[in-house]
């Protein structure tokens, strides 16, 4: 009979442990290709322990995605503070986003694995994603008020600009390996500058 280890860790520690294991496993085998068994094996905990912390495989993937989005929000919000003009802040927004995506290409990939109903919630606007969107929207509102941006529906504009940015990052990091990220990043910058910044 084998002696069972029964390391009782604090909840946050366990979550982190599982999250890290999941990230590694998803990176190596993809979402569909990974099993809970892979994750717990990597984490060194028992099968059942997983369910004490996450309700499902999807739940942990969502959690990983939220982490990424939070990191992106934080980076973006921080970055924009320092910009003087709208155009400058726009550039900073874009480069901060690309920066985070570049550092977390694996999570970025994971975050866009599917929109089927079984994966639907991965795309559901999470509160993290919402806060990113709000930051962009606020940037736009301010710029419109300051006369630095063409007047437009700031919500739609923010969603489209965010979508464009996202698409560029997907092309760069999900379908590509990052080798085109510079060209895509400056392409987005140019398009949004011309498209949004009011010419004097």
Partner DNA sequence: GATGAATGAGATTTCATTCAT
Partner DNA sequence: AATGAATGAAATCTCATTCAT
Which residue ranges make up the site for a second copy (CB under 8 A)?
30-33, 109, 112-119, 123, 150, 152-153, 156-157, 159-161, 163-164, 166-168, 170-171, 174-175, 183-184, 187-188, 190-192, 194-196, 199
Spell out the residues 6+ positions from residue 55 whose beta carbon is closer than 8 angstroms to its own.
none
The verdict on 45 binding DNA (CB under 7 A) reads yes
Which of DNA, a second copy, none lies near 196, with the C-beta cut-off 5 to 8 A by kind? a second copy
Q: At closest approach, how far in Å is the CB of 142 from DNA?
A: 43
* C-alpha dihedral sign at 78, 161, 124, 131: positive
Give the helix/strand (H/E) hosting 7: none
The verdict on 35 binding DNA (CB under 7 A) reads yes
The verdict on 127 binding DNA (CB under 7 A) reads no
d(CA 106, CA 185): 18
The verdict on 70 binding DNA (CB under 7 A) reads no
CB of 43 or CB of 192, closer to a second copy: 192
CB of 31 or CB of 132, closer to DNA: 31
Residue 193: C-alpha distances to residues 76, 166, 167, 168 (Å): 17, 16, 17, 15
The verdict on 120 binding DNA (CB under 7 A) reads no
Residue 168: closest CA among 145, 147, 192: 192
d(CA 71, CA 128): 9
């Amino acid at each position: 009979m084998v002696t069972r280890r029964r390391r009782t860790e604090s909840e946050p520690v366990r979550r982190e442990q599982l999250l890290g294991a999941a990230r590694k496993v998803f990176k190596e085998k993809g979402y569909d290709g990974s099993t809970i068994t892979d994750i717990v094996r990597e984490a060194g905990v028992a099968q059942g322990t997983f369910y004490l912390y996450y309700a499902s495989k999807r739940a942990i993937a969502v959690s990983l995605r939220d982490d990424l989005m939070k990191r992106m929000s934080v980076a973006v919000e921080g970055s924009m503070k320092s910009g003087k003009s709208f155009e400058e802040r726009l550039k900073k927004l874009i480069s901060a986003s690309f920066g985070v995506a570049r550092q977390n290409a694996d999570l970025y990939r994971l975050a866009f694995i599917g929109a089927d109903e079984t994966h639907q919630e991965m795309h559901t606007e999470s509160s993290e994603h919402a806060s990113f969107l709000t930051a962009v929207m606020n940037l736009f509102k301010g710029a419109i008020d300051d006369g630095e941006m063409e007047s437009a529906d700031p919500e739609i504009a923010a969603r489209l600009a965010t979508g464009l940015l996202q698409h560029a990052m997907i092309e760069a990091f999900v379908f590509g390996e990052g080798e085109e990220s510079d060209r895509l990043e400056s392409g987005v910058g140019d398009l949004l500058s011309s498209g949004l910044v009011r010419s004097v």
